[in-house]
């Protein structure tokens, strides 16, 4: 019963984390934010602007060797990079580019009233 309650709360009770100053995230750039308590269930999210829209990826690289997607300029203005093996991921879909690796986990983001709302 408790598991069902947690699922319903996740569907209907989730509020976004609001990140101010969406205009500060420039086209082709990425920055990281922390959501939740990093000591327990928190996550790092990579916020990226591509084609004028905001996209989010969990920074934990899916090749599961401890790498994290890096902030700063996106490769070719549209790919997040894990510096551990230079793996590249499409920020819109999380799909790996030219490597045999799982998808990076995408996070829904919306730009609203000059802020970024992150649904993580």
Return the CA Rg of the chain: 15
**pLDDT digit string, tens, across residues 72-105:** 999 999 999 999 989 999 999 999 999 999 999 9
What would the DSSP string read from start to end of 20-85? S-GGGS-TTEEEEEEES-TTTT-EEEEEEEETTEEEEEESB-TT-SS-BPPPEEPBTTTEEEETTT
pTM: 0.84
Burial (CB < 10 A; 0-12, 13-18, 19+), residue 43, is: middle
φ/ψ bin of 117: left (φ > 0), alpha (ψ from -120 to 50), beta (otherwise): beta
**pLDDT digit string, tens, across residues 4-17:** 444 444 455 578 99
CATH superfamily, with its number, for domain 17-119: Rieske [2Fe-2S] iron-sulphur domain (2.102.10.10)
Q: Which pair of structure tokens corresponds to residue 120?
A: 């993580």
């Amino acid at each position: 019963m408790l598991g069902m309650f947690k699922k319903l709360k996740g569907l209907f009770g989730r509020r976004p984390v609001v990140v101010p100053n969406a205009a500060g995230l420039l086209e082709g750039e990425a920055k990281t934010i922390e959501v939740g308590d990093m000591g327990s269930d928190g996550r790092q999210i990579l916020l990226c602007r591509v084609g004028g829209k905001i996209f989010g990826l969990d920074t934990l690289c899916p090749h599961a060797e401890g790498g994290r997607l890096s902030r700063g300029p996106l490769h070719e203005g549209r790919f997040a990079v894990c510096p551990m093996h230079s793996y590249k991921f499409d920020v819109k879909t999380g799909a790996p580019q030219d490597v045999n690796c799982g998808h990076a986990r995408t996070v829904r983001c919306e730009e609203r009233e000059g802020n970024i709302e992150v649904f993580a």
